[in-house]
Structure 1
Amino acid sequence: METTVCPWCQTEIVWDEEIGPEEECPHCHNELKGYRTLNVTLSDDEEELQEELEEESYNSDSSWMDEEESSSPRTQGLTRLPSLDGNDTDLLAYESAIGKILETQDQMPECPHCREYMILTGKNMVKADGYSSVTPAGLKHPLLEAPIRMNVYVCPSCFHVSSFLTDEDRIRFAGRVQQAAESNEN
């Protein structure tokens, strides 16, 4: 039995001599024969420069710290948090507080912009004077009538605000949809 290493995912592929070599990697499903290698020859000066750059990046203490900070999901657009009194807020304390708040939440919707978990900040009541319901075509009643209660969420990273129906209004909405479906069947 012979082995091949996939150039895409670096997985060792063992194939049977009777069946022959694989044409596609069974792990990443990339074509094994279509892989092309580009060879570049460097002059002596370029090789020295390349070695210096590799040494510099290896010895740099800040490079791993920069990578760690840039991969932090909690502060995706934030580099600092200014406060009203002019002093910057500690970003680590902010992240820690967000984590503690999220641990207490039952539901954690993701922000549609940056995919971070959002924090429940309050409830909003939409009354009849601020909402006009629509009756869908073919139905006798609207699917949702005022007053409507909404949970308001804020993204701690990009500060996007989203609101969702409360559990009670979700149940009421689902019941209305089910009633509409049953009345259309009859």
Structure 2
Amino acid sequence: MTQLDHLCPWCQTEIVWDPEIGPEDTCPHCFNELGEYRSVSLKVKTDGEQLLFDEDDEDLDDEDVDDEDLEDMEDEETFDDYEEGVQLVMDTQEEAPECTSCHNLMLFAGTRTMSPDFVPVVPSKLKQSLLKPSHSSQVYVCPSCFKIDHFIADDDRNAMIELLKEHGKR
């Protein structure tokens, strides 16, 4: 990364700063604050020396962190492999909704049928519920912030549209 690039600690999205404007105060993807707020900075010395924390926190133990763990975290190939895996799955999807949290495209994770204890509301004007008690939803997961979203499955979505269109004609 260049000195003008930064990785958001909240959504793990790369932020490219405009050299004329300067560093961002908030992440343009997830809108969380950037900077020192709620952050711990680590300084690593070479040749296997101990880690030094910027904050004076006695609860943290320097010996809990191995040099191998740090190398794994800094291994860009691992992140590249992850991104390639995400793209591989994304290429098989017909649609990919945008995450409401970080605005990255989401991965289709599966279908979920609503449990029998779901009690649908029956609007008084329709005299029929918008969704069947056993409706299905498609489950999507965000590969960046790992938020999960549910969307009504196509058959149940079409049934709801037809119901509303039918009652809208009256």
TM range, normalised to the smaller chain? Answer: 0.5 to 0.7
Q: Which runs of 5+ in 2 are unaligned?
A: 15-68
SS at structure 1 position matched to 2:127: coil
Structure-2 residue corresponding to 1:172? 159
In the TM superposition, residue 140 of structure 1 has moved relative to its aligned partner by 1.5
1:105 pairs with one of 86, 93, 96: 93
Structure 1 segment 62-141 matched on structure 2, within 5 A: 64=2, 66-68=3-5, 70=7, 75-76=12-13, 90-127=78-115, 129-141=116-128
- Paired residue secondary structure (1:109): coil
Distance 1:162 1:130 in 2: 20
* Aligned equivalents of 1:97, 1:130: Cα separation in 2: 37
Kept in 2: contact 1:131–1:146 (CA 8 A): yes
5 Å-filtered alignment, 1:48-63, equals none
Alpha-carbon distance, 1:104 to partner: 1.0
Q: Distance in 1 between matches of 2:148 and 2:86?
A: 16
Larger-Rg structure: 1
- Structure 1 unpaired stretches of 5+: 1-61, 78-85
TM-score after normalising by structure 1? 0.52
- Once the two structures are superposed, residues 57-105 of structure 1 have per-residue CA deviations (whole angstroms, 9 ceiling, x without a partner) of xxxxx6x2x545649xx9428xxxxxxxx76581110011101111110
Cα pair distance change 1:153/1:164, threshold 3 Å: same
Structure 1 CA distance, aligned partners of 2:157 and 2:142?
Answer: 22
Q: Distance in 1 between matches of 2:163 and 2:131?
A: 8
- 2:132 aligns with 145
Counterpart in 1 of 2:144?
157
Residues of 2 paired with 1:116 and 1:67: CA distance? 22
Q: Could you say which structure has the greater relative contact order, defined with CA pairs below 8 angstroms and 6 or more residues apart?
A: 2
Q: CA RMSD in A?
A: 2.4
Q: Is the 8 A contact 1:152 1:163 kept in 2?
A: yes
Match of 1:48 in 2: none
Residue 181 (str. 1) matches residue 157 (str. 2): no
Match of 1:54 in 2: none
Matched letter for residue 181 of structure 1: G
Kindly state the Cα deviation for residue 176 of structure 1 after the two structures are TM-superposed. 1.2
Aligned identity (percent) is 26
TM-aligned CA distance change 1:68 to 1:100, over 3 Å:
farther
Deviation at 1:162, TM superposition (A): 0.3
